[in-house]
Amino acid sequence: MRPDSTPPTIYRKDYTVPSYLVETVELGFDLDPDRTIVANRITMQHNPASPSRSIVLHGEELDLVELRLNGRALAPTEYKIDGSVLTIPRAPAQVVLEIETLCTPIQNTSLSGLYVSNGSFYTQCEAEGFRRITYFPDRPDVMAKYTVMLRADKARYPVLLSNGNLIESGELDDGRHYAKWEDPFKKPSYLFALVAARLVCQEEHYTLKSGREVLLQVWVEEGNLDKTDYAMQSLKNSIRWDEERFGLELDLDRFMIVAVGDFNMGAMENKGLNIFNTKFVLANPRVATDIDYAGIEAVVGHEYFHNWTGNRVTCRDWFQLSLKEGLTVFRDQEFSADMIGTDSGRAVTRIDQVRTLRQAQFPEDAGPMAHPVRPDSFVEINNFYTVTVYEKGAEVVRMYQTLLGRDGFRKGMDLYFARHDGQAVECDDFRAAMADANGRDLRQFERWYSQAGTPVVSARTRYDAVKRNFDIILSQRCPATAGQPDKLPFHIPVAVGLLDANGKDLPLLLEGGDHPKDATTVVLELKEQEQIFRFRNVDERPIPSILRDFSAPVVLEHDYTDDELLHLYRHDSDAVNRWEAGQRLAMERLLKLTAQVTAHGDAAVLKLDSTFIEAQRALLVDESLDPAFRELALILPSETIIAEQMEVVDPQAIHTARQFMRRTIGAALKTELLAQYHANQTPGAYSPDALSAGKRALKNLCLSYLLVAPEAAELKVAQQQFDNASNMTDRAAALVALIHSGGDAAPYLQAFYQDFENEALVVDKWFAMQAAAPATNVAAVRKLMQHPAFTLKNPNRARSLIFNFTNGNPAQFHAADGSAYAFWAELVIQLDGINPQVAARLARSMDRWRRYAPALQEKMKQALEQVAAQNKLSNDVQEVVSKALA
Ligand code: ARG
Ligand code: ZN
């Protein structure tokens, strides 16, 4: 490690207001891949709230040609450039700055700022990319009105787009043309965008509830116009939903979505010009799976909803990122649930959210990168676009709704906009709006924003048959995290129901509660370290269903017996807890089996009890249940989630145990699996609706169980599905099942590649499937990297192969000889030279290194140290590896 080059840490407590406020920005672009000229005219005014008279601008990778202040060119002695900060001291109160810079989009492989993808120009400015385009006070609390003039070669870049409204366009000399755009709304620089590209669009005039007509466009490369329908439909659904659920209307006359193949994240909510990873736009049945369709709906919704939660009201500083992200994820989750429209569909989306939290957020909260939903410090803000800020942040927002009810939550939202429209605010402002609109004291709730770590809620019960009282005693604790050894109690909503011996919900009478008389679920508010909640008039000892609908992002401890869990698994009216009972039953067994494999070295001694198998059989064939729910109930906890429950992780033993369990279930339930496979076919034209998608999910889960140890008949079923599938969901599922069956899948892989080699997103799938296959070791990954279609420069492609191996194939990634760790180090370093954001994500694969057996730990540490010792590491990667080693 080289302490001398350690990048600085930025602290939330050091926030100061901007010294100058910007009124207008006029940008002129002469777009050229090798030499783009940016002319920037800013009118600014001293901020009376600031004691400083220095103008502070940010700029990176820019060539400064000229800097003029109020019409006069500044000599280099009149300003100072220190790293990425340009300071003009002793400036007058009213300032017009004119700045001319050069940049080189073609060399910008970081995909932050202005860059070239497949020969066209795109931008990504969040969080701090605008400073790679021009000098500017690049901080979200500086909001201004933008006018943008784009000039470029007309033949190569026929489409010129920016934020807001097109106010002028025309021809220039030498085959060039121009377009002038004006955004009527004040915005922070991170919401700026431009596109200069060879694209085509699907467009539609759409009438808002108010009667106003708007123009909606989805822009894609030629040849992809047959894949824009679902994104357009999702956009219209999003517009309608935000009007209905939150009374929020689209404020622009024109709303554009542009798909680009090279993109660091999912998508970006630039005002009126959302730029998307192609993965979240392009779909037709031939190339996209049900999961892809659901992803498009969610991300189109997410970016659209940002127009109010993020753009109209934005963040004061980047520590407040969850103000917009947690809230907007919550909104997109509710949107997706409402689009399904049924209670069971809603529950299925909720279960998916719980799985994501356990798979990714709980580990983050327990690892070296743990941070509060509102972090107190960071080195590189791009490292904090995390599952904690996004998904845990959404859980925090959801808890307001759980505590205040839907109407109370809506009141809070209304007050939030009434108070803060057009402002850059803090998470605390959102909490205050929720509290004030409902006359509630939510001061303790602040700890969800300030304390990292996953709280553990422990439940005990006691029943007094004479007094007919049933007590639930809840206590809470939260493990220490970096910099936070001790935690104060959280304000935790714990939704509870009580089941009788027949599995029926008991009507509840909570002592001191003010719930409706016939309630069968009540929300207990746990605020102390320990609290007793008493239910009256309980005639028999009930079985408690605790944390219904996963009412808080916590770990629930309760000593359920197997019989109680089986009872809940059979009867709980709360689908999330019903699913949860099955997961607990499975997890208990998986942990035992894993310990046995570790002790004996193989699976020979393993046994699975018939009780569990029979419970799964009953659930599988229960046609009163939603197929999507049955599918989720039959999926065993993932290897990563199992690993999180173990003190010392043995990845190979986990894999062996889980495979044993899958094989045993597959063999025991063969008849029923085959029957359900046939019963859940979806003949006719493909539709991504939830019921059809659920049937396919269940059917394909059955197939995967049948193919764990297949005989010829099962293999044939999979082969036929592969050959005859009329959609990508079924085609890909058959291929994955064949790959995992242990037989020779090469011919199928080859056929699949040949069919789809011109569909980049399907080629990504092809790499991803192989990366996560149990037989794929690091040598096989290296070989796949030699494939002509592989490149590290495209983030989707890099993730498809590399990330799906390091994160999706734990038994191989943790090979005893440490060869995959060396591979990881090599790739982090290589990627860092191309794209630090992507490299830093890969670096996170080592977060949990301290939990492995000493022999593995030692090798992981070596790999981390090897990366840390590199000379020219980005701040992004340096922060991740140094925190891992700290
Ligand atoms: N605000 C975007 C979204 O969540 C994500 C952009 C993140 N970009 C980045 N480079 N960190 O919709
Ligand atoms: Zn977002």
Ligand 2: centre distance to CA 34 (Å): 31
Ligand 1: centre distance to CA 339 (Å): 24
Measured distance CA(681)–CA(699) in Å, rounded: 7
Cβ of residue 121 lying under 6 Å from some atom of ligand 1: no
How deeply is 679 buried, as exposed, middle or buried, from its count of CB atoms within 10 A (0-12, 13-18, 19+)?
A: middle
Pocket test for ligand 1, best of 60, 110, 126, 311 (most atoms within 8 A of CB): 126
Q: Full-prediction pTM beyond 0.90?
A: yes
For atom 5 of ligand 1, the residue with the nearest CA is 268
Cβ of residue 126 lying under 6 Å from some atom of ligand 1: yes
pLDDT interval class at 6 (50, 70, 90): confident
Whether 379 shows a pLDDT value over 60: the answer reads yes
Pocket test for ligand 1, best of 385, 388, 835, 876 (most atoms within 8 A of CB): 385
Measured distance CA(246)–CA(398) in Å, rounded: 15
Measured distance CA(634)–CA(618) in Å, rounded: 11
Whether 79 shows a pLDDT value over 70: the answer reads yes
Of ligand 1's atoms, which has the minimum distance to the CA of residue 264? 10
pLDDT interval class at 4 (50, 70, 90): low
Ligand 2: centre distance to CA 642 (Å): 29
Tell me the pLDDT tens digit for each residue of 850-864: 999 999 999 999 999
CA dihedral 795, 797, 799, 801 (to 10 degrees): -160
Whether 773 shows a pLDDT value over 90: the answer reads yes
pLDDT score at 5: 74
pLDDT score at 2: 43
For atom 12 of ligand 1, the residue with the nearest CA is 268
DSSP 8-class letter at 109: T
pLDDT score at 874: 98
Tell me the pLDDT tens digit for each residue of 442-499: 999 999 999 999 999 999 999 999 999 999 999 999 999 999 999 999 999 999 999 9
Percentage above 90 pLDDT, the chain: 99
DSSP 8-class letter at 236: H
Whether 3 shows a pLDDT value over 90: the answer reads no
Ligand nearest to the CA of 324: 2
Amino acid residing at 480: A
Measured distance CA(298)–CA(242) in Å, rounded: 13
Ligand 2: centre distance to CA 757 (Å): 31
Cβ of residue 832 lying under 6 Å from some atom of ligand 1: no
How deeply is 8 buried, as exposed, middle or buried, from its count of CB atoms within 10 A (0-12, 13-18, 19+)?
A: exposed
- For residue 156, give every residue at least 6 positions away whose Cβ sits within 8 Å of its Cβ, in sequence order, or none: 119, 198
How deeply is 477 buried, as exposed, middle or buried, from its count of CB atoms within 10 A (0-12, 13-18, 19+)?
A: middle
How deeply is 638 buried, as exposed, middle or buried, from its count of CB atoms within 10 A (0-12, 13-18, 19+)?
A: middle
Region 655-676: what's the mean pLDDT?
Answer: 98
Cβ of residue 268 lying under 6 Å from some atom of ligand 1: yes
Residues belonging to the chain:
886
Secondary structure (3-state) at 631: helix
Which tokens is 731 given? 């085609």
pLDDT score at 472: 98
Mean pLDDT across the chain: 98
Whether 256 shows a pLDDT value over 50: the answer reads yes
Measured distance CA(423)–CA(419) in Å, rounded: 9
For atom 3 of ligand 1, the residue with the nearest CA is 268
Measured distance CA(438)–CA(629) in Å, rounded: 35
Strand order in the sheet with 213-220: 200-207, 213-220, 254-260, 273-277, 267-268
ipTM above 0.85, yes or no: yes
Whether 602 shows a pLDDT value over 90: the answer reads no
Strand order in the sheet with 530-535: 530-535, 469-477, 456-464, 555-558
Give the H/E segment covering residue 207. Answer: strand 200-207
Residue owning tokens 């009126």:
272
Q: Tabulate helix, strand, coil % of the chain (nearest 5).
A: 45, 20, 35
**Degrees to nearest 5, angle at CA 203 with 201 and 204:** 175
pLDDT score at 500: 98
CA dihedral 217, 218, 223, 224 (to 10 degrees): -150
Tell me the pLDDT tens digit for each residue of 272-289: 999 999 999 999 999 999
Measured distance CA(709)–CA(501) in Å, rounded: 39
Q: How many helices (H) and strands (E) in the chain?
A: 29, 31
- Burial annotation 507-520 (CB, 10 A radius, 16+ → b, else e): ebbbeebeeeeeeb
Ligand 2: centre distance to CA 54 (Å): 33
Tell me the pLDDT tens digit for each residue of 566-589: 999 999 999 999 999 999 999 999
Of ligand 1's atoms, which has the minimum distance to the CA of residue 381? 11
Tell me the pLDDT tens digit for each residue of 147-162: 999 999 999 999 999 9
Answer for the pair 349, 333: CB distance below 8 angstroms, yes or no: yes
Whether 509 shows a pLDDT value over 70: the answer reads yes
Ligand 2: centre distance to CA 305 (Å): 9
Answer for the pair 547, 519: CB distance below 8 angstroms, yes or no: no
CA distance between the termini of the chain = 11
Whether 807 shows a pLDDT value over 70: the answer reads yes
DSSP 8-class letter at 380: -
Region 331-353: what's the mean pLDDT?
Answer: 98
Compute CA 274 distance to the chain's CA centroid, rounded to the nearest angstrom. Answer: 17
pLDDT score at 174: 96
DSSP for 11-37, written as a single string: EGGG----SEEEEEEEEEEE--SS-EE
pLDDT score at 74: 98
pLDDT interval class at 1 (50, 70, 90): very low
Cα dihedral sign for 188, 194, 200, 204? positive
Measured distance CA(739)–CA(733) in Å, rounded: 10
For atom 1 of ligand 1, the residue with the nearest CA is 268
Q: Taking each helix axis from N to C terminus, what angle separates 290-305 and 321-340, rounded to the nearest 10 degrees?
A: 130
Give the H/E segment covering residue 99. Answer: strand 94-103
